[in-house]
C-alpha cells in the first residue's frame, strides 16, 4: 500500500526539502497488513537511508525528527499539469492580449480625441 510520509524536524533550520524542517515523500509497503505496514513505516522513518546509516529519531542529532505522519493513499488522482497549463496559461495570455488591446484602444481613442480637438481649434481661427 502507498503512504504519504511527512516528517518534521525538531530543530529549526532548512534541510532543502519542500520547506524548512519538513520533508514529504511517498512510501510503499510490501504487504497490505496494517500492523506490518506500520512496522515498515516506523523503520523507514527512523532509518530513512537504511539501518546502517544515521537514526533520524536520535535526540543527539542536530536534525532529529519531532513529528512524523503516515497518510494512507487510497484513491490517488494525478493532476494533469499540461492540461492546466493549456487552460490557465492560455487564459493568462488571452488576458494579457485583451489588456494590451484595451490599452491600445484607449491610446487610439485619446489620440483621436486630441486630433479632433486640434482640428476643431484650427478651424475656428
Based on the domain organization, do 7 and 64 belong to the same domain? yes
In terms of residue numbers, what domain contains 114?
78-125
Q: What is the pLDDT of residues 46-86, one digit of tens each?
A: 998 888 888 888 888 777 888 999 998 877 778 888 888 87
Based on the domain organization, do 7 and 54 belong to the same domain? yes
- How far are the Cα atoms of 110, 117, 118, 119 from residue 122, in angstroms, in the given order? 18, 9, 6, 5
Based on the domain organization, do 65 and 20 belong to the same domain? yes
| The three cell numbers locating residue 122 | 484650427
Last residue of a domain, one of 72, 94, 111: 72
Q: Over range 13-40, report the average pLDDT.
A: 77
How many separate domains does the chain show? 2
Last residue of a domain, one of 57, 72, 87: 72
Rounded distance, CA 21 to CA 9, Å?
A: 5
Please give the pLDDT value at position 122.
56
Based on the domain organization, do 53 and 18 belong to the same domain? yes
Q: Is 7 exposed, middle or buried (0-12, 13-18, 19+ CB in 10 A)?
A: buried
Report the predicted TM-score, pTM, of the whole model to 2 decimal places: 0.56
Mean pLDDT of the residues in the chain: 78
Amino acid at each position: 500500500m502507498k503512504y504519504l510520509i511527512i516528517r518534521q524536524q525538531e530543530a529549526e533550520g532548512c534541510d532543502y526539502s519542500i520547506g524548512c524542517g519538513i520533508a514529504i515523500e511517498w512510501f510503499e509497503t510490501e504487504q497490505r497488513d496494517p500492523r506490518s505496514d506500520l512496522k515498515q513505516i516506523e523503520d523507514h522513518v527512523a532509518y530513512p537511508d537504511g539501518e546502517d546509516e544515521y537514526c533520524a529519531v536520535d535526540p543527539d542529532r542536530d536534525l532529529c525528527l519531532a513529528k512524523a505522519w503516515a497518510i494512507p493513499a487510497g484513491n490517488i488522482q494525478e493532476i494533469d499539469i499540461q492540461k492546466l497549463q493549456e487552460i490557465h496559461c492560455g487564459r493568462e495570455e488571452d488576458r494579457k492580449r485583451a489588456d494590451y488591446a484595451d490599452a491600445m484602444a484607449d491610446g487610439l481613442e485619446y489620440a483621436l480625441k486630441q486630433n479632433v480637438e486640434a482640428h476643431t481649434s484650427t478651424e475656428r481661427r
